[in-house]
A and B are shown apart, each in its own frame.
Chain A
Amino acid sequence: MALSETEKRRLSGVDIQTRKKGVLVRPDLCIGCRGCQTACKEWNKLPGDRTVNRGTYENPPDLTPNLYNKIRFVEVEEGGHLRWLFISQRCMHCTEAGCMKVCPAPGALYRTPEGAVAFNKKKCIGCRFCLAGCPFNIPRYDAEEKISKCHLCADRLAFGLEPACTKTCPTGALTFGDRDELIQMAKASGFEAVYGEKDLGGLGVLYAFKEFPSFYGLPDSPGLPASVAFWKSILKPLALIGLGGAVAAAAAHYITVGPKEPEEGGEE
């Protein structure tokens, strides 16, 4: 994908913090109507999944290749009362996106000018590494083993439209906007901390929580998986350094100590 100068600037480290688009999720305002879940399916032309009644309105039980955005139902009993809470679960559009770091097929996952992490099924080779790289268990794979996940409606954003989910949300539980403005908005509404403000270089999907993130099934302090972080900083560079070092050591040995020449008179 060829980027214009403005787009490149937008995507450069500094700008991405201030210009990146995002979604603010406020679980306290969510009424569990699942309008966003349906709007997402409509816009992305995703077929329904066949499921069974599990005794909850939460359906399907998890993200699928045909379900990019799902309302997770949190049903807990506290002091004899049932608490019934809802949260939108989808790709976070991380600035430090683990999925993009491990993807071996350049262009299969790409950053849109708005800072979303979108995908191109034609370039995806179906290796499933992005699931290993993702801290939030988001990527799913379709029947052809190609990546499927929320792309923040990259096709709508390109035409200046907001994502289908935020467009539909009737209560303000989902708000689309400039990421920095969303953070200010949440703070102005009395939230001290915004989940995703700093995590993983800044998440595109921000959460204003009244509970611990783990209450909603999210990691309390999200970060790259340890194995992926170690791989990225040590193992990956070491492969080329190791190869180069071995070739250099062999060459150095050859021109200093030299080969084990045959003994005088001995022919080899």
Chain B
Amino acid sequence: MRHDLVQRTTGWERFNHWLLALSFIVLVLTGFGFLYNSLNWLNTIFGGNQLAKEIHKWAGVVFTLSVLFTLGSYLGDSIRFTKEDYQWLSSLGGYLSKTTTEPPQGRLNAGQKLYYLLVVVLTGAVIIITGFILWFAQSTGWLRFGHFLHNLAFVVFVTTVPLHIYLSTAANPGTFRAMTRGTVTRAWVKRHHRKWAKEIGIE
């Protein structure tokens, strides 16, 4: 490895991340195809509504497994909230100004922790559980419960995941390679995760 690079993710983490992203995209496209008559052509791409339903269900199974697999990688870091995390949140990660520097962050910053806990784990649990309810429920009560919460969680996902994609690509040059090559530069680590830099001894 080049001396100026730092290993950010393991091969398994990257593989699982793209499993998550791919199943998610399939779920969102078919989901929109079912939600709006005007977007039903999306399901035509997946071979019609009948096939799209099967694809949606099984992509949901892949997504479920993939979310479970992320627990080992991110849950431990995410539930440990530190003083610096609150600082990060009160300055909104410095995203609203060109000059603010980021409070020193561990391997994951406060935003990533919240994204993981609130979106991936919490909303993920809601959309997964209600997905299985809709798959198997026969009673009006369960179907209404599932239909409502599945849609609510869908709104949360389609509103937050584009922000995650933006923040991990265009908004922070040098980040995307963490999920492709698995490495980031030392300069990137010092800039975005100074506490982690100290922990791994590069500062």
B-contacting residues of A (Cβ < 8 Å)? 102, 104-106, 123, 125-129, 131-132, 134, 137, 225, 227-228, 230-231, 235-236, 238-240, 242-243, 245-247, 249-250, 253-254, 257-263, 266-268
Q: How far is the CB of B155 from chain A (nearest CB, A)?
A: 5
At the interface with chain A, which of B15-23, B34-42, B61-69?
B34-42
- Name which residue of chain B comes closest to A139, CB basis: B140
Asked if B144 is at the interface (CB within 8 A of a chain A CB), the reply is yes
Residues of chain A within 8 A of B40, CB atoms compared: 106
CB <8 Å contact, B154 and A125:
no
Asked if B74 is at the interface (CB within 8 A of a chain A CB), the reply is no
Contact partner, A239, options B143, B158, B170, Cβ 8 Å: B158
CB <8 Å contact, B173 and A235:
no
Residues of chain A within 8 A of B4, CB atoms compared: 267
Assembled-state Cα–Cα distance A126/B136 (Å):
11
CB <8 Å contact, B173 and A261:
yes
- Name which residue of chain A comes closest to B187, CB basis: A266
Assembled-state Cα–Cα distance A2/B158 (Å):
34
Contact partner, A104, options B35, B148, B163, B191, Cβ 8 Å: B35
- Name which residue of chain B comes closest to A239, CB basis: B155
- The A-contacting residues of B in range 64-92, CB under 8 angstroms, are none
Residues of chain A within 8 A of B9, CB atoms compared: none
CB <8 Å contact, B144 and A228:
yes
Assembled-state Cα–Cα distance A236/B40 (Å):
14
Residues of chain A within 8 A of B171, CB atoms compared: 250, 253-254, 259-260
Residues of chain B within 8 A of A128, CB atoms compared: 134, 137-138, 143
Q: How far is the CB of A264 from chain B (nearest CB, A)?
A: 10
Assembled-state Cα–Cα distance A105/B36 (Å):
10
Known: A235-B155, A249-B163, A268-B188. A127 touches B53 (CB 8 A): yes
- Name which residue of chain B comes closest to A234, CB basis: B155
Asked if B166 is at the interface (CB within 8 A of a chain A CB), the reply is yes
CB <8 Å contact, B155 and A125:
no
Assembled-state Cα–Cα distance A21/B49 (Å):
31
- Name which residue of chain B comes closest to A128, CB basis: B143
